Structure 1
Amino acid sequence: VVQLNAEALSALAYTQVIRKGAPAIYGHYLSTVSMKSGAPMAGTPEISLMNFLIGQMARFYDVPWRTSGGLGGAKTFDAQAGYESAATLSAVIHAGANYIWHAAGWNEAGMHCSVAKFIVDAEQCAMAYRMAEGPRWDDFDEALAAVRDVGPGGHYLGHPHTQENFQRAFFMPEMFDNNSIEQWKAEGEIEITERALKQARKLLSEYEEPKLDAAKNEALLDYIARREREIPAADALNQEF
């Protein structure tokens, strides 16, 4: 953590030397190493402990903090992948990270990306974001009024407050299955990897490339060509120096 802090501060200081007042972010990447093989590891408790410390340092310097979450060393999208990624993502959320990279699809300590895991991780990130928002108090008075309306022995499912707020009251995941086991069996006993891959194929089949205005595209290509003519080649620069 001391080394990471020194590296981050040196980079922050350098940006201010080049351009005083330039916006900057306190960033790092860290991992642990297997003492048995020397292989990089992800998802270990020490990573989370270091992130808690680094989060405190970022707040001490009063700068936004970039880190990594959703890490893991599993080779497939299995229980290990889920446990490790959930642990590391939860840690950086609780540590107060402002900007999180490497939060979806990460496997084998970053050596490959799992498409199925990417889809599920994206939903996990949405849940983490919801948790980071904290409790919502904007409808507190209406909620208390509903308690009085329902009274002892009643239920809230049909109350107007429930009908108006149920979609945002609890996060409703699409990839994570919360149905009864009977319903899950009736729908084909589809496990999460298969559901995620099906969703990935659906997204790919429906993808439409964002269109760039033809005039802007032409202007960008012209700028690239002009700068290629204006900027000396690397060999010429080396000879000059």
Structure 2
Amino acid sequence: MTNTAPRRSGGRAARRAARAAPLSHDVRPIRAGLEGGKYRPLSEHDMHRIHATALDALEQIGLADAPQSGIDAMTAAGAILGDDGRLRFPRALIEDTIANACKKIVLPGRIPENDLHLTGNRVHYGTAGAAVHMVEPDGRNYRESTLQDLHDAARICDQLDNIHFVQRPMVCRDVTDNRELDLNTIYACCAGTTKHVGTSFTDPSYVADALEMLHIIAGGEDKWRERPFVCNSNCFVVPPMKFATESCLVMEECIRGGMPVLLLSAGMAGATAPSTIAGAIVQSMSECLAGLVYVNAIKPGHPALFGTWPFGLDLRTGAMSVGSGEQALLSAGCAQMHKFYGLPGGAAAGASDSKLPDMQAGWEQMCSNVMAGLSGLNMVYEAAGMHASLLGFCHESLILGDDLIGQAMRCVRGIEVDDATLALDQIRDVCVGGPGHYLGTDATLTRMQSDHVYPTLGDRTSPKEWMEMDKPDLITKATTRKNTILSEPSKARFDPVTDQEIRRKFNIHLPL
């Protein structure tokens, strides 16, 4: 007999489809800017000692090699130029600078929904770095990175919910002219994403050209200054305790052009910074406090991120150890010192020493990403895609990193304790005359999306299901998603008139 009864609409397939649909912002269990800060590797006493030692270092040792313009500005603010050419910073000058520095920084995206509000312990994850190679996991190969690779990375980041900003993660080795490299880097990133972008400049004379391009993208200089969606990542120091003369001149031009600045101190513990974690943090704080004086001497209150990026070193071999537990502690300790000063800041976490997106990469990336997030680091740089101790970048690893950061962000969100989450009524209803389990209850179903983070590519099937699906491979799944993203036009691409104007004024290497 044929069953002619009407089939129920919905059912399991409909529920699965509903769960797969993008969640509205108010329902999402994680989002940019969740509050961390519950992990505190330093005691209050420790932080006061680090601060006092940094003040001693600045007052007694100071920094060398500032350009004349910087010397003029900082001495006018109260720094003292010694006969040895080193600028020293009285305690009162440092304390006053901290008190008057910009404490509430907003890094705009090209669209407001991508704005980053850097206050308190709000956490944001993104890319960064200057990798010179692309990792191709299918053939286990390394090759030189290109402008197209950078543009593709920005396009992929634009589609990843847990990547909140895009600082240039690689160098475009196929653009050999430095001016064209800097301009094409901005073009490739901004044409790929509407999220906030970070970049650097090789020469101060290139900044004016870059600003002209950004004015065109923004629709005018006034609109750019209102919403500066690109930040200058500036290595203003050459550790230990020396200003990087050329980078300082770049920084001055960026400040005048209304561009936010990341004050980046990247000493290597055991080589260009003390080998102890506390000593490396002291030097990084000292250098960035000097940078803060510099910025505020040029333009009081200019948005400047405290970019303490001390890196670990394998003292047996001299190799970088960005995936180590020591690196995780360095970044978490720096985050805690940012809060001590009340200053928005960033540090490096989430990079791996592994050459491929393998198990080593997974444990290294998760360890430092979780610790950085729990410590309340405002900007977690190099959080996805970075391999080989910052020498290699991988698109597939970037996509897998989005899943990984999702789990890290769930840890940052923590445990809410209130009448609803304590669930006494649920326990009563299930145990007293109820089904004896919580599967399918209204309370479980209504909170399954808002309380839980589900991986996009991570596999939670049983071994039987996995075999029935022909044993899907995680890297292959990431490659498939990469190809899907890159097969569609970039949502951030410029309108034809804007693009034509940019190409008429600048030598853009990316094809139309």
Check whether TM > 0.5: yes
1:171 to 453, 466, 473: 453
Q: Per-residue deviation at 1:138? A: 7.5
Whether contact under 8 Å (1:32, 1:41) holds in the other structure is yes
Which residue pairs with 2:468 in the alignment?
186
In the aligned structure 2, how far is the partner of 1:2 from the partner of 1:151? 56
The structure that is strand-richer by fraction is 2
SS of the aligned residue for 2:347 comes to: strand
Whether contact under 8 Å (1:142, 1:161) holds in the other structure is no
* CA distance 1:190–1:98, change in 2 (3 Å): same
Deviations 1:156-189 (A, max 9, x none): 2221122222123321112111111111111111
Which residue pairs with 2:307 in the alignment?
27
Which residue pairs with 1:48 in the alignment?
328
Q: Percent identity, please.
A: 27
Pairwise CA RMSD of aligned residues?
A: 2.5
Whether contact under 8 Å (2:354, 2:387) holds in the other structure is yes
Q: Per-residue deviation at 1:2? A: 1.4
AA in 1 matched with 2:366: A
Q: Which runs of 4+ in 1 moved over 6 A?
A: 218-222
Which residue pairs with 2:360 in the alignment?
80
Whether contact under 8 Å (2:370, 2:411) holds in the other structure is no
Which residue pairs with 2:494 in the alignment?
212
Question: RCO (CA 8 Å, sep 6+): is it higher in 1 or 2?
Answer: 2
Which residue pairs with 2:213 in the alignment?
none
Q: Per-residue deviation at 1:113? A: 0.8
2:478 to 183, 191, 196: 196
The structure that is helix-richer by fraction is 1
Q: Per-residue deviation at 1:8? A: 1.1
In the aligned structure 2, how far is the partner of 1:161 from the partner of 1:107? 42
Alignment of 1:118-133 (within 5 A): 118-133=398-413
Which residue pairs with 2:286 in the alignment?
6
Q: Per-residue deviation at 1:216? A: 5.3
Which residue pairs with 2:87 in the alignment?
none
Unaligned runs of 5+ in 2: 1-280, 507-512
**TM-score normalised to structure 2 length:** 0.41
Which residue pairs with 1:231 in the alignment?
none
Whether contact under 8 Å (1:24, 1:63) holds in the other structure is no
In the aligned structure 1, how far is the partner of 2:492 from the partner of 2:323? 36
Is the counterpart of residue 110 in structure 1 residue 390 in structure 2? yes
In the aligned structure 1, how far is the partner of 2:372 from the partner of 2:421? 33
Whether contact under 8 Å (1:58, 1:65) holds in the other structure is yes
AA in 2 matched with 1:190: P
In the aligned structure 2, how far is the partner of 1:109 from the partner of 1:141? 42
Which residue pairs with 1:150 in the alignment?
430
Whether contact under 8 Å (2:295, 2:302) holds in the other structure is yes
In the aligned structure 2, how far is the partner of 1:138 from the partner of 1:198? 42
* CA distance 1:215–1:136, change in 2 (3 Å): farther
SS of the aligned residue for 1:58 comes to: helix
